[in-house]
């Protein structure tokens, strides 16, 4: 039974701001995520829907949130799983209707089984219906059956709100950033040749659990060539002497994520060619962090990182072309063979949080104070790729460096600054706990 994360007033204010934005006489429906069955009576770990958490703090399954502004004032109803002794004995205590009314920021609470009845009573009175669809198919079908008009998507109203973090949200994100930074340092300190990727994963996850947090996504622990596979997460191979290991792992504190990547030599010392690539990615990362300024376009950090990487690839002799061809007219030139993802994304209740856009593709928002973004340039030279040719000394190297950045009027604040990233710092930590 999870407690509410923030004070009631923070959620009530979010509800009021949102409902003032929606046209009057609207009903907004946000279903909660389904609790998926793994087999028989065993379920996957449950994580509530981020929109529902954002607007109500509610985290129990079998629930949905409805907010309306039909009579001019915003009124909220939470549909919840009713208390049931038998199910509580097996699965844990249930907050129930009375508990929800007492401690959650809502005007009414009813059992989820009454949602259909609620639709019958209320839909006739409203002119606009907003629903986040494709969360719960059963709810979608029920609403479609009852509402013959257009079903509107509220996310374009909620996403800009979610993208500006409040002081209390920032505090949780700092905590998530600190725990994940410590976890990476511990993993560096126990690294040695022939350690299993899974062993480093367990060290990271143990620190998350010890600090009452969980993974915010499946950790990526890739040694050698595995570091060049962007979403590698089988974490099942030994990391040979002399190879780099890339760890992309972050945790979640009360729903708020951190997202950190560090790359280090498993034996403790960067080789000359590893050092050259690492220094280049670090230079690009620092340039992109500098570009995290209030008022800058969404793509500015991606452009800053891309310029540094393209110039560096030419300098190292990996690209044999002009800067113009390396970068391309739309940042789609030759350098994309080795840096194929965006430079960052929004971070918040979701690790790839709402309110951003795909860098290098979508216009995205102008950066504002209170946004939290990741900065994560990388370079990848997979030895098995037949579509690229690179000097042999760089083959099999993958490097990514990722930090979490709070945008402020006073410039970028690196929330993950407890996680070292200079070559000197890293070399002094790797293996130091052995
Ligand atoms: Mn990331």
Interval 227-255: pLDDT, tens: 999 999 999 999 999 999 999 999 999 99
Q: Where in the chain is the domain with CATH 3.90.230.10?
A: 167-429
Report the distance separating Cα 164 and Cα 187, nearest Å: 32
pLDDT exceeds cutoff 70 at 141 = yes
Report the distance separating Cα 237 and Cα 254, nearest Å: 32
Which one of the listed residues 14, 162, 307, 400 is annotated catalytic?
400
Beta strands in 32-138 (DSSP E): 37-39, 42-43, 64-68, 75-80, 108-111, 128-131
C-alpha 238 – ligand 1 centre gap (Å): 24
Cβ-contact 188, 428 below 8 angstroms: no
Q: At residue 404, what are phi and psi to the nearest 5 degrees?
A: -110, 125
C-alpha 258 – ligand 1 centre gap (Å): 9
C-alpha 110 – ligand 1 centre gap (Å): 38
Which one of the listed residues 93, 144, 212, 231 is annotated catalytic?
231
Taking residue 110's Cβ as centre, other Cβ atoms within 10 Å add up to 18
Rounded to the nearest integer, the mean pLDDT of the chain is: 96
Which one of the listed residues 35, 275, 336, 352 is annotated catalytic?
352
44 is catalytic: no
What sign does the CA torsion over 256, 260, 266, 269 have? negative
Nearest CA-CA partner of 236 in 248, 222, 246, 225: 222
pLDDT score recorded for residue 357: 81
231 is catalytic: yes
pLDDT score recorded for residue 133: 97
pLDDT exceeds cutoff 80 at 434 = yes
C-alpha 290 – ligand 1 centre gap (Å): 18
Residue 125 Cα distances to 67, 121, 172, angstroms: 14, 8, 40
pLDDT score recorded for residue 73: 80
350 is catalytic: no
> SS3 for 259?
coil
pLDDT score recorded for residue 352: 96
41 is catalytic: yes
Give the tens place of pLDDT for each residue, 414-432.
999 999 999 999 999 999 9
Give the tens place of pLDDT for each residue, 330-339.
999 999 999 9
Taking residue 363's Cβ as centre, other Cβ atoms within 10 Å add up to 9
C-alpha 376 – ligand 1 centre gap (Å): 7
Report the distance separating Cα 222 and Cα 133, nearest Å: 36
Nearest CA-CA partner of 67 in 16, 105, 28, 115: 28
Q: Band the pLDDT of 318: cuts 50, 70, 90.
A: very high
Report the distance separating Cα 305 and Cα 294, nearest Å: 18
C-alpha 349 – ligand 1 centre gap (Å): 13
Which one of the listed residues 256, 278, 380, 394 is annotated catalytic?
380
Q: What is the mean pLDDT of residues 46-66?
A: 97
352 is catalytic: yes
Report the distance separating Cα 373 and Cα 354, nearest Å: 11
Q: Where in the chain is the domain with CATH 3.40.350.10?
A: 8-162
CATH class for the region spanning 8-162: alpha beta
Q: At residue 105, what are phi and psi to the nearest 5 degrees?
A: -80, 65
C-alpha 432 – ligand 1 centre gap (Å): 27
Which one of the listed residues 259, 285, 334, 350 is annotated catalytic?
259
pLDDT score recorded for residue 361: 67
C-alpha 262 – ligand 1 centre gap (Å): 11
pLDDT score recorded for residue 71: 79
Report the distance separating Cα 163 and Cα 166, nearest Å: 10
Cross-strand pairs, 130:
28, 152
Cβ-contact 82, 114 below 8 angstroms: no
Nearest CA-CA partner of 347 in 295, 309, 307, 402: 402
Give the tens place of pLDDT for each residue, 258-316.
999 999 999 999 999 999 999 999 999 999 999 999 999 999 999 999 999 999 999 99
Which one of the listed residues 169, 197, 252, 402 is annotated catalytic?
402
Give the tens place of pLDDT for each residue, 166-207.
999 999 999 999 999 999 999 999 999 999 999 999 999 999
- Taking only Cα atoms into account, the Rg of the chain, rounded to an integer number of angstroms, comes to 24
341 is catalytic: yes
380 is catalytic: yes
Q: Band the pLDDT of 117: cuts 50, 70, 90.
A: very high
Which one of the listed residues 303, 345, 403, 404 is annotated catalytic?
345
Which one of the listed residues 41, 134, 387, 424 is annotated catalytic?
41
C-alpha 66 – ligand 1 centre gap (Å): 32
Give the tens place of pLDDT for each residue, 17-28.
999 999 999 999
Which one of the listed residues 59, 248, 299, 334 is annotated catalytic?
248
Give the pairing type, strands 108-111 and 75-80: parallel
Which one of the listed residues 14, 60, 341, 394 is annotated catalytic?
341
167-429: what fold? Creatine Amidinohydrolase (3.90.230)
C-alpha 152 – ligand 1 centre gap (Å): 30
C-alpha 352 – ligand 1 centre gap (Å): 7
C-alpha 353 – ligand 1 centre gap (Å): 10
Q: In sequence order, what DSSP letters do the residues of 338-374 get, joined into one string?
A: T--S-S--B-SSSSS-TT---TTTS--PBP-TT-EEE
Nearest CA-CA partner of 130 in 163, 114, 154: 154
Give the tens place of pLDDT for each residue, 68-86.
998 778 899 999 999 999 9
C-alpha 340 – ligand 1 centre gap (Å): 14
C-alpha 86 – ligand 1 centre gap (Å): 42
pLDDT score recorded for residue 360: 67
pLDDT score recorded for residue 125: 87
Give the tens place of pLDDT for each residue, 337-381.
999 999 999 999 999 999 998 776 677 899 999 999 999 999 999
């Amino acid at each position: 039974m999870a407690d509410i994360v923030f004070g009631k007033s923070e959620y009530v204010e979010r509800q009021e701001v949102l409902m003032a934005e929606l046209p009057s006489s609207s009903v907004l429906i946000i279903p909660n995520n389904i609790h998926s069955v793994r087999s028989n009576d065993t379920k996957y770990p449950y994580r509530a829907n981020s929109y529902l958490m954002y607007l109500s703090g509610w985290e129990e399954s079998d629930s949905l949130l409805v907010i309306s502004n039909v009579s001019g004032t915003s009124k909220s109803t939470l549909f919840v799983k009713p208390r049931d002794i038998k199910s509580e004995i097996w699965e844990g205590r249930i907050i129930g209707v009375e508990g929800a009314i007492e401690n959650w920021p809502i005007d009414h609470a009813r059992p989820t089984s009454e949602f259909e009845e609620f639709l019958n009573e209320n839909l006739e009175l409203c002119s606009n219906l907003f629903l986040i669809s494709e969360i719960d198919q059963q709810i979608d079908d029920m609403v479609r059956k009852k509402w013959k008009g257009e079903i509107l998507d509220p996310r374009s109203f909620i996403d800009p709100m979610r993208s500006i973090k409040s002081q209390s949200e920032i505090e949780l994100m700092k905590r998530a950033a600190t725990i994940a930074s410590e976890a990476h340092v511990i993993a560096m300190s126990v690294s040695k040749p022939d350690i299993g990727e899974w062993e480093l994963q367990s060290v990271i996850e143990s620190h998350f659990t010890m600090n009452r947090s969980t993974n915010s996504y499946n950790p990526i622990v890739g040694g050698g060539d595995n570091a060049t596979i962007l979403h590698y997460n089988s974490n099942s191979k030994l990391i040979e002497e002399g190879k780099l290991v890339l760890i992309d792992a972050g945790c979640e504190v009360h729903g708020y994520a951190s997202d950190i990547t560090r790359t280090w030599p498993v034996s403790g010392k960067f080789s000359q060619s590893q050092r050259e690539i690492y220094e280049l990615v670090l230079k690009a990362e620092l340039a992109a962090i500098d570009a995290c300024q209030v008022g800058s376009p969404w793509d500015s950090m991606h452009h800053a990182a891309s310029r540094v990487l393209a110039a560096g690839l030419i300098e190292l002799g990996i690209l044999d072309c002009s800067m113009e061809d390396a970068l391309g007219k739309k940042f789609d030139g030759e350098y994309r063979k080795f840096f194929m993802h965006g430079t960052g994304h929004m971070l918040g209740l979701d690790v790839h949080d709402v309110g951003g856009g795909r860098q290098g593709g979508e216009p995205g928002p102008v950066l504002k104070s209170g946004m939290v973004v990741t900065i994560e340039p990388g370079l990848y030279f997979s030895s098995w790729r037949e579509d690229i040719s690179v000097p042999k000394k760089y083959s099999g190297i993958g490097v990514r460096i990722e930090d979490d950045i709070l945008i402020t009027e006073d410039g970028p604040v690196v929330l993950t600054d407890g996680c070292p990233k200079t070559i000197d710092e890293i070399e002094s930590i790797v293996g130091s706990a052995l």
